[in-house]
Chain A
């Protein structure tokens, strides 16, 4: 008697991806945590109104600072304590999450658009276009990133007019601009390399032989095949950008004080950390957990979307 053969079932790439991803428990937990953070960020105004009963910039100096202007620690009403002007650290940490996510997502989005566009053009067209774009990438990459970022942030913060003829103004937009301006190159270089490899593949040749133009090939054939690396790299660059925003804010060059930011909160805590540990602890923990979650999710996505580059391989 012949043994019964099991039923062979076809699986879509999406199903394969999910099968692999759900085996990575850490990535799932990280993904769930990020989802939770996103929900928290969206609900921050509601939480601050209905739980804390005050906003991120409301001052409670009389109640929450002493005669020397030193803040008071956590209590039943101020779960994470207060800062030097009596603002609720819990509410500001919550709003800081919004800032981090907004900066990271927008900066990453802009960097992705620039990087993918230029990377695909360089890789696909080759020749002088590739040379030009590659040299621009080399130049930007050779710049001392943090120094230039600090210089640019400082220069654009000097006056209310900002810089570049008023296009870039001090505040959240400036931080997003700076982060995007310096992070697109890594994406562009990666995408260029992948596009160079893709354009020699048979399906591109086939498409071209069927009369497809460059634009159509780029959009219909090349870009869909870059989807996985774009997702992976985006997820991995988000925590970097969150940290970058924190660095800039820590140095006083990020978002204005009125907009809560974890980097700025940590910076404000440095002078009085010994007597007000909560000022550094809570935003610091939030920063660590958020970046860790994005990194773990990014690793999981990479393993699931591109098993050949997995941890085991």
Chain B
């Protein structure tokens, strides 16, 4: 689960490099149906291991593709900005949002009539197709690294199915062809958001029987949306042993989409999908500079890669080009972690001093400048928290976010690691600390700013630029001191998914651990981890041991549970705000330094652009091109 969550976060935030131009979505010309929308991408998101199989796929960019172009769920989003309602769950295939019973334990959806699968299935989608998708979601072998945890404990009978103790899931019922009902183990105020996730979309039994292996269905995905893979009409599911994949999806080469002939736009919400182009082409180009050159020449319509700083500068400074560049908050926070089990970060005053001294403006500058984001002032971005906007709450305020030496030294003087009270960390534990970052741009540059800031309060580091960031930083048995490569984005527009993997002691895992700072680490957690290390077959992990903490590391597990149990509304929202403030002032496991922006640049033939806040990406369901302007 954690690996997938990491990938989601990465993808949500990976496109956040950029800067400059317009902040308005909308029309660049006269959007009309027709044409081919041509995209080049530096790395296909499905290559990260999930193969585009919606049951397990947890990479944010794939979510964008799946939900805006290929599959529909009972609920969904408008795929527009937060201001335009992009963070609200809306009915998609269902006639309305979930109808909850009085006790909140039963949710019912009525499916709109006339919604049909794409080729080669072609028939009308029924409630049974949701039972099929939930049975896949409840099959442990198909969901490793996915987000089944959002459903398995919550849906009645799903855990027993997952454990192999039941043949069906008692909590998912096809009441009739158009009515699907879920029975929950406890009320879930955010259930409609969960149902908007790709894994909850319907899967036809005809296809599902052929794909019983992990991450295998993506190649043959049967559409329920406006587009389908080119060549799907040639696929025959009648013989699972003799399947020929469609020509439109080659894992390492391209994804070519044509209109789904069975899609009826009248069953869809035009606020969500306008589906202007007749065709989409996604092709790989590992050289982003080259893609942006082609974009400028009109040879492609969108380069799906982080725009290099010089490209951003060019589009920002040229009035004619400016209108083709868009930047929006991508709901991510990028942050430093300080491992609270390791000296000197076992002292909260040192952690506060690091927060106070950090030159966040310098870090943004190293990332690519003002267009790529703004200095983060607390853990959860305002766009997710719906509160505490920039400038409203910053417990470690400094002029221009450049760091405050005086405040940092005042914190440090309170620390046991400042032995002579001069505001500098002068104990041996402050020297040569292990600092892990990613080896890719812009992280080494960001790390240089971090190290420069730390030196001002006497802390020196040994920087390791790791090819596998969480591989190097996320093994609790091999603790590091400080990291600067972490970023996190929410799974839906509610703060709950911002806290779970990042701060809960119970979320600490033996490898690829997201809670690097070890917030909430207790002797019990240590015992569980050691038990898992002992049972590991992986030779890298087998036999490792994590030392229990001398004293429990402060955590938020209880506070989190209390917030999660609240009904949606002001009290719940305030609970998350209070939790964020508690983390920043009492626990202090992070230095949040960047609230990211997504920067998109489109080609001269694009006549309409929208930003999808759900996937933090360009909204393919709203784009349009003018073929006469394409070269």
Contacts and interface: CB of A to CB of B under 8 A. Distances in A.
Nearest to A274: B310
Contact of B366 (A57, A61, A274, A275): A61
Interface string B570-600: 0000000000000000000000000000000
B464 A157 contact: yes
Interface centre among A69, A85, A158, A161 (most CB of B within 10 A): A69
A66 B19 CA distance: 12
Interface string A153-188: 010011111000000001100000000000000000
Contact of B369 (A67, A87, A257): A67
A57 B452 contact: yes
A140 interface: no
A68 B448 contact: no
A65 B448 contact: no
A268 to B, nearest CB: 8
A84 B372 CA distance: 15
Given A159-B478, A160-B480, A154 B467 contact: yes
B366 A68 contact: no
Given A59-B452, A68-B369, A258 B463 contact: yes
A275 B309 CA distance: 10
Interface string B195-232: 00000000000000000000000000000000000000
Contacts of B316: 68
B310 A272 contact: yes
B20 interface: yes
A69 B369 contact: yes
A206 B212 CA distance: 81
Interface in B288-327: 289, 308-310, 312-313, 316
B463 A68 contact: no
B310 A158 contact: no
Contacts of B439: 157, 252
Given A70-B309, A272-B310, A160 B452 contact: no
Given A59-B449, A84-B445, A159 B308 contact: no
Interface in A252-287: 252, 256-258, 271-272, 274-275
Interface string B415-442: 0000000000000000000101001011
B144 interface: no
Nearest to A271: B308
Interface residues on B, range: 35 or more
Given A68-B19, A69-B367, A272 B308 contact: yes
Interface string B18-30: 0110000000000
A271 B369 CA distance: 15
Given A57-B448, A59-B362, A157 B466 contact: yes
B313 A161 contact: no
A306 interface: no
A158 B540 CA distance: 12
B478 A67 contact: no
B362 A70 contact: no
Contacts of B441: 271
Interface residues on A, range: 20 to 34
A205 interface: no
B515 to A, nearest CB: 18
A255 to B, nearest CB: 10
Contacts, number: 106
A12 to B, nearest CB: 50
Interface in A46-89: 57-59, 61, 65-70, 84-85, 87
Nearest to A257: B444
A175 B534 CA distance: 35
Nearest to B366: A85
A171 B435 CA distance: 13
A65 B465 CA distance: 23
A159 B316 CA distance: 39
A257 B313 contact: no
Interface in B355-369: 362, 365-369
Interface in B152-185: none
A68 B313 contact: yes
Contact of A159 (B451, B463, B466): B466
B366 A160 contact: no
B443 to A, nearest CB: 10
Contact of B449 (A85, A170, A252, A271): A85
Contacts of A67: 19, 369-370
A70 B371 CA distance: 12
A171 to B, nearest CB: 8
B466 A69 contact: no
B367 A252 contact: no
A239 to B, nearest CB: 27
Given A161-B478, A257-B444, A271-B441, A68 B20 contact: yes
Contacts of A58: 452
A170 B435 CA distance: 12
Interface string A220-262: 0000000000000000000000000000000010001110000
Contacts of A157: 439, 464-467
A132 B310 CA distance: 56
Interface string B447-464: 111011000000000111
B466 A258 contact: no
B471 A158 contact: yes
A21 to B, nearest CB: 44
B463 A158 contact: no
Given A68-B19, A257-B448, A160 B465 contact: no
B472 interface: yes
Contact of B365 (A69, A158, A171, A258): A69
Nearest to B20: A68
Contacts of A70: 309-310, 313, 369
B238 interface: no
A67 B316 CA distance: 11
A160 B369 contact: no
A257 B19 CA distance: 25
B9 to A, nearest CB: 21
B468 interface: yes
Contacts of A159: 464, 466, 471-472, 475, 478
B467 A158 contact: yes
B369 A158 contact: no
Contacts of B447: 257
A66 B368 CA distance: 10
Given A70-B313, A257-B463, A274-B310, 4 more contacts: A57-B452, A69-B365, A84-B445, A157-B467
15 contacts: A59-B452, A61-B366, A67-B19, A68-B310, A69-B372, A70-B309, A70-B369, A84-B309, A159-B471, A159-B475, A160-B434, A160-B464, A257-B445, A258-B463, A271-B310
Query: Top 5 A-B pairs ranked by shortest CB distance?
Result: A68-B369, A69-B369, A68-B313, A275-B310, A257-B444
Interface of A: 57-59, 61, 65-70, 84-85, 87, 154, 157-161, 170-171, 252, 256-258, 271-272, 274-275
Interface of B: 19-20, 289, 308-310, 312-313, 316, 362, 365-372, 434, 436, 439, 441-442, 444-445, 447-449, 451-452, 462-468, 471-472, 475, 478, 480
